[in-house]
A and B are shown apart, each in its own frame.
Chain A
């Protein structure tokens, strides 16, 4: 409960930072790993991959990773709160 209270008292900046910034970092790591193993120019041999420059592929890859990681962070940020029932039962008890 103490942790929850602390989360509740976080400033807006801190909340946004927690979701967007941390997932930005992780997306960066993921992009680094992914593209050091896979050359986007060679992807088109294996799958139906549109012909784009490497810079474009890296950028799009990063943005997709960021979308993924920030979605996960956002969901985590929502789910960390107790459900309504728990809140009610807490205040009754």
Chain B
């Protein structure tokens, strides 16, 4: 018992071995770099792009409005947002079932930022071997300077990332203006600091541990896998038994009973999660395809055919045919189409104008010039992408009089307009203490665009 608990304790405090992934070149490395550049570019540039005078993507939390291109979402559109999240989830399921961890290897922010950090580490500290040596070496001026420089650049990138991230939630203009004039609100600064730290720690130190321990997707993705999912796999039949070659490349290694794997361990050295792909499919593998590129190089040098490690499927590895169309894929696809159509339908059907009616709280009713008067505040909400001019009508009681001390009511796109109105009626026309009336607002510049809401008209006891 005690030895067991000792062991537990040891592993509890066991230090993670730092992984120094070796640099890779090759076709997939090229695709990855491309994807990193495109995604980072989008992330950093989008907040600066404006459409009709405002940021194209702005989750304007202080104003409780989300702008996504020409659409504006309000808190009332919460259901749509939920649809969107479900949609995103099914998209991920679909692609995972089809192509495995493409997301992890090429698009996940954790991968993208870690790649950038690794690139800087290499530029500052040199190749994998040099990095290992530097870490082992005693502290010297050279080591101190290099480490300082690396962390400085890392922090700089983390800071830029955090500012950009926060600018998706408060406008970039206001943010950068506040930043450079040192007039940022305390909470903005807090969040910028928070995300700077998060980026720095996640991409600089946590790295593959985020994928291994923190990512829910990594844990659940195996449930979406089947034997026809695209995976990265080592061809065991071809590679084994592994072994180093004699100096003469041209001796027939097959006669010596060796497979194609020369046991150079390159695939292990490039792996950002520190696993050996030759041990079979492991959940730590993020599908980054670094091992494919490097092994292909090795195969080229040995003039063996490429693809000892390759994109394949479990069925193909087992020598069975792979199918792309299978029930799982079809079901995910149908659900995907269903939710997309539902989303598009509800976006197109949602009210682009809205009306909230609030009764005056101070007085139930009052009597003026022989009539009963009620006071309301109408909240006219224009969710449309353009301004509208409205007309207001009220009905429900005979000879209702509507008093508005304004000639025209024009509501700007994406705003709420508070309009105080007074309604008067004859006492004998009321059916009781409370009578239902209806307000209708209709756009004067677009026929058919109108909305009707119910309100209560209060009077004295009959």
Contacts and interface: CB of A to CB of B under 8 A. Distances in A.
A binds B: yes
Interface of A: 5, 8-14, 17-18, 21, 25, 36-37, 39, 53-56, 58-59, 91
Contacts of A8: 8, 11-12
Contacts of A11: 11-12, 14, 16, 209, 213
A36 to B, nearest CB: 5
A39 to B, nearest CB: 6
Contacts of A5: 8
Contacts of A18: 213
Given A39-B75, A54-B61, A12 B12 contact: yes
Interface in B365-393: none
Contacts of A39: 64, 75
Contact of A9 (B11, B81, B188, B216): B11
B185 A53 contact: yes
A18 to B, nearest CB: 8
Interface in B199-244: 206, 209, 212-214, 216
Interface string B6-24: 0010011110100000000
Interface in B291-311: none
Nearest to A63: B190
7 contacts: A5-B8, A8-B11, A8-B12, A14-B212, A36-B78, A55-B185, A56-B185
A59 B12 contact: no
Contacts of A9: 8, 11-12
Nearest to A7: B8
A54 B64 CA distance: 9
A53 B186 CA distance: 11
B213 A14 contact: yes
Interface in B56-79: 61-62, 64, 75, 78
Given A11-B11, A11-B12, A17-B213, 10 more contacts: A11-B16, A11-B209, A12-B12, A12-B13, A13-B209, A13-B213, A36-B81, A39-B64, A53-B187, A54-B64
A69 B76 CA distance: 26
Nearest to B81: A36
A54 B60 CA distance: 11
A17 B212 CA distance: 11
A67 to B, nearest CB: 15
Nearest to A88: B1
A58 B12 contact: no
A55 B187 contact: yes
B44 interface: no
Contact of B187 (A25, A36, A59): A59
B196 interface: no
B170 interface: yes
Nearest to A20: B214
Contact of A54 (B11, B62, B81, B212): B62
Contacts of A21: 214
B358 to A, nearest CB: 11
B8 A17 contact: no
A13 to B, nearest CB: 5
B191 interface: yes
Contacts of B188: 55
Contacts of A36: 75, 78, 81
B75 A13 contact: no
B16 A59 contact: no
Given A10-B12, A11-B11, A53 B213 contact: no
B62 A53 contact: yes
B10 to A, nearest CB: 9
Contacts of A54: 61-62, 64
B283 to A, nearest CB: 14
Nearest to A38: B75
A1 B178 CA distance: 56
Contacts of B209: 11, 13-14, 17
B11 to A, nearest CB: 5
A18 B187 CA distance: 26
A70 to B, nearest CB: 14
B413 to A, nearest CB: 21
A9 B188 CA distance: 39
- Nearest first, the 4 closest Cβ-Cβ pairs linking A and B are A14-B213, A8-B8, A91-B1, A17-B214
